[in-house]
Amino acid sequence: MARIDYDEVARDYRAGRGLTEEGLAGWRDAVRPYLEGLALPLVDVGSGAGQFAGLFSRWFGIEVIGVEPSDGMRAEAEASNEHSRVSYLAGDAQHLPLRGRSCGAAWYSTVIHHIPDLAAAAHEATRVLAPGAPVLVRSAFPGRTERITLFRFFPGAASVVETFPSIEQLTGAFGHAGFALERMESVRQVSVGSLREFRERVVLRADTTLRGISDQEFAAGLARLDEAIQNEPTCVEPLVDWLDLVVLR
């Protein structure tokens, strides 16, 4: 079960958390060795509003199957990220509606903290992936939040990340299912163009960690952000964040 109600936040998800194709160039380069020219479909587990599903299909010319439990998020994906080689199905990480050995890779973007049983999800990945296929995980992990802008202003939200599965827990769960850690690196992304634009997104509170703090903590974070905006230089710089990529095979 997800930590937040994605049917409730679906309408604001793209405005609150969507990223530009240019901003995701670092992720395109990071996953290219695993996805370019993939013969079997990629399963995008917890595909949300379909941002990565559409980009991966266009970037790498591959078929993508998005699996998402939220009706609202699937509707957003179908409306905003329609692509001839992308399809969306109802399901979740522990119950993938796919045949055995039918996929060439699996992608989990900011979703592992919503999975109740990582071990069950790992065994389900083993079932649907072809032998030797990689699992790619994009996430914020406990103890590794210092280069994420949101947590500069909302330290309580960073504490929520400390309740997420750690890298050790992730690799342990998938290790028992036969996967080994192949690569781990932090990947650069341009998240937003300015602090003012960042505030417009934050107030939608479409992020799991912001939903996990009190209204008082949220208000205090907005106050810190407003103070920073007042001091922002006239020539603004885009906000750069770093999330981790974990590759298991």
Contact 224, 153 (CB under 8 A): yes
Whole-angstrom CA distances from 81 to 28, 49, 61, 64, 71 are 17, 7, 15, 12, 15
CATH hierarchy code of domain 6-143+160-192+240-248: 3.40.50.150
Token couple for 92:
């979740």
Token couple for 248:
């298991």
From CA 71, how far away is CA 139, in angstroms rounded? Answer: 23
User: Is the confidence at residue 5, as pLDDT, over 50?
Assistant: yes
Overall average pLDDT of the 144-173 stretch? 97
Contact 145, 151 (CB under 8 A): yes
Give residue limits of the domains in the chain: 6-143+160-192+240-248
Overall average pLDDT of the 38-66 stretch? 96
Q: Give the model confidence (pLDDT) of 173-216 as tens digits.
A: 999 999 999 999 999 999 999 999 999 999 999 888 999 999 99
From CA 140, how far away is CA 134, in angstroms rounded? Answer: 19
From CA 229, how far away is CA 239, in angstroms rounded? Answer: 13
pLDDT at residue 18 in the model:
83
Token couple for 168:
């050790």
Per DSSP, 204 falls in state T
pLDDT at residue 83 in the model:
77
Question: 145 exposed, middle or buried (CB, 10 Å; 0-12, 13-18, 19+)?
Answer: buried
User: Which runs of E-coded beta strand occur in 25-125?
Assistant: 42-45, 64-67, 86-89, 105-109
Q: Give the model confidence (pLDDT) of 14-30 as tens digits.
A: 767 789 999 999 999 99
